[in-house]
Structure 1
Amino acid sequence: MKTIQGPGIFLAQFAGDAAPFNSLPAIADWAAGLGYKGVQIPSWDARLFDLALAAESQTYCDEVKGLLADKGLAITELSTHLQGQLVAVHPAYDAQFDGFAPAAVHGNPTARQEWAVQQMKHAAVASRRLGLTAHATFSGAFAWPYFYPWPARPAGLVEDAFAELARRWKPILDAFDENGVDVAYEIHPGEDLHDGVTFEMFLDRVGHHPRANILYDPSHFVLQQLDYLAFIDLYHERIRCFHVKDAEFRPNGRSGVYGGYQAWVDRPGRFRSLGDGQVDFPAIFSKMAANDFPGWAVLEWECALKHPEQGAAEGAPFIRKHIIEVTPHAFDDFAAGGADRALNKRLMGIG
């Protein structure tokens, strides 16, 4: 068994224009001061990281790693959640998702998608140069507007959507394979890969590609009312990244899973800071340890109520408390009698 690495923190929700959140050295000092040992870096945020430069310059990658190491930090993964989203965009979301891309490709879905694919290929090379083995991203979506089938979906629509999704991702997965890095899709509502069934549909269409893997975040399963512990049992061989995020689901007579278009604070299902929700983290960390999860436990802070800096400060000790340092031997080894085939036969009355 392996001991999970951590605590780590995803920097996306904290990066900003004010110090200490506006540069990598400053935000690294802040994270290290809270007790974090790793940072997941949002590759789209130029205040923190230059993805194109990282893809072409080993020197730059070594400088970034050295800067963080001097502060007692490692890079857990790079993230391309925004760029991965743009690999596959339903036209209904074109105007909203343009904001994830440079102004030069706004209003041009084809150019925006080409830019996103190149970003993903940059991320594959940059991850290798940084010595990383997993990468966090989103799948994008063609079928999401049709997830609740009324009017009834035309026959074959979902199948065609997943075929096109796989066609777009296969060359990207191949690029990651060439660089020895796993792609970990965050299984997330709004993405075509939003539960186990849809992940399997995608996996089938990319030929069970060895680099097509999972970023596990139980909070999204609480909001879907999916069994997040059984999910680990089913898919642990494909789980490569782990967002430690809490959530709660408290339905009422007026609203349920779909939330009634309400703001997050009023929804029955909402994200919470660690320890404030309903996720059974002791059980999750136990399953991760038992199944040899090879990566990091990374805080993703999203909460409808609590201030982010309070959530970050509480997150490091929470994760540290839940990481299981796996045992090198069985608890009852002291009573073992060693191997004795003759004794075994005698105990069973054989021979």
Structure 2
Amino acid sequence: MKTIKGPAIFLAQFLGSEAPFNSLPAIADWAASLGYKGIQVPTSAPAIFDLEKAAASQDYCDETTGMLAEKGIAITELSTHLQGQLVAVHPAYDAQFDGFAATHVRGNPKARQEWAVEQVKLAAVASRRLGLTAHASFSGALAWPYFYAWPQRPAGLVEDAFAELARRWTPILDVFEENGVDIGYELHPGEDLHDGVTFERFLEATGNHARANILYDPSHFVLQQLDYLAFLDIYHARVKCFHVKDAEFRPSGRSGVYGGYQGWTERPGRFRSLGDGQVDFAQIFSKMAQYDFDGWAVLEWECALKHPEVGAAEGAPFIDRHIIRVTEKAFDDFADTGSDRTLNARLMGIGD
């Protein structure tokens, strides 16, 4: 068995124009001061991390990792959540997602998609240069407006949507294969890949591509009322990234899973800071140890109530308490009587 690495923190929710959140060295110092050993780095903020430079320059990557190592920090994964979203955008969401793109491709869906594809491919190369083996992203969505079975969907719509999604992603996955890096898709409402069934659809459409994998985040499954522990029993071999994020689901006589168009503080399902929700992290970390997950436990802070800096400060010790240092021997080894094939035969009653 392997001991999970951590604690680490995803930087996306903390970046800003004020110090220490406006430069990679400063935010690394801040993370280290809270007890974090790793950072998951978004690639959509060039002031923090220059993705194009990282893909082109080994020196830039070595300088970055060296600077972080001096602070006791490692990069856990790069993230292309925003760019991955733009690989597949249904026209209904064009205006809402356009701001995720570089300014020179906004308002042009075709150019925007081409830019996004290139960005994710660059992340594969940059990850290799940084010595990383996993990457975090979103899948995007073409079928999401039709997730509910009313009105009746035309026959073949879902199959065609996943075939097109796989057509767009397979060349990207091939680049990740060339660079020895896995993509962990965060299974997330709003993405066509949002649960086990949709991941299986996509995996089949890609020909079971070896680099198509999962970023496991139990909070999204709480909000969907999916069994997040059984999910690990089924898909653990494909889990390559792990967001440690809490959530709660409080249904009422007025609202349930769909949320009634309410804001995050009012809806029954909402994200919470670690320890404030309903996720059974003791069981999750136990299963991660059982299934030899050798990646990082990365806090993704999202909470409708608590201040982010408080959530970050509480997150590192919370994760650290839950990481299981796996045993190197069986608890009953003290009673081991050795190996004797003759004795085994006698115990089964098949000896002479």
TM-score range, shorter chain: over 0.9
Query: Deviation at 1:105?
Result: 1.1
1:330-350: CA deviations, max 9, x gaps?
A: 000010100112222222222
Partner residue of 1:216?
A: 216
Partner residue of 1:293?
A: 293
Partner residue of 1:344?
A: 344
Query: Deviation at 1:104?
Result: 1.4
The amino acid across from 1:192 in the alignment is D
Q: Distance in 1 between matches of 2:294 and 2:237?
A: 10
1:200 aligns with 2:200: yes
Name the % identity: 79
1:51-99: CA deviations, max 9, x gaps?
A: 0010101111011101110100000000000000000000000011110
Query: Deviation at 1:302?
Result: 0.2
Query: Deviation at 1:47?
Result: 2.2
Q: Which runs of 4+ in 1 moved over 6 A?
A: none
Q: Distance in 2 between matches of 1:174 and 1:293?
A: 24
1:135-163: CA deviations, max 9, x gaps?
A: 00000000000000211111111011000
Partner residue of 1:190?
A: 190
Query: Deviation at 1:102?
Result: 1.4
Secondary structure (helix, strand or coil) at the match of 2:170 reads: helix
Partner residue of 1:126?
A: 126
Secondary structure (helix, strand or coil) at the match of 2:135 reads: strand
Partner residue of 2:250?
A: 250
Query: Deviation at 1:6?
Result: 0.2
Q: Structure 1 length normalisation: TM-score?
A: 0.99
Query: Deviation at 1:25?
Result: 0.6
Give RMSD over aligned pairs: 0.6
Structure 1, unmatched stretches of 5+, are none
1:328 aligns with 2:328: yes
Number of matched residues? 351
Structure 2, unmatched stretches of 5+, are none
Q: Distance in 2 between matches of 1:47 and 1:319?
A: 29
Partner residue of 2:70?
A: 70
1:13 aligns with 2:13: yes
Q: Distance in 1 between matches of 2:231 and 2:256?
A: 22
Partner residue of 2:38?
A: 38
Partner residue of 1:263?
A: 263
Q: Distance in 2 between matches of 1:349 and 1:194?
A: 53
The amino acid across from 1:231 in the alignment is F
Q: Distance in 2 between matches of 1:210 and 1:336?
A: 40
Partner residue of 1:313?
A: 313
Q: Distance in 1 between matches of 2:180 and 2:20?
A: 34
Partner residue of 1:52?
A: 52
Partner residue of 2:180?
A: 180
Q: Structure 2 length normalisation: TM-score?
A: 0.99
Q: Distance in 1 between matches of 2:208 and 2:315?
A: 35
Query: Deviation at 1:217?
Result: 0.1
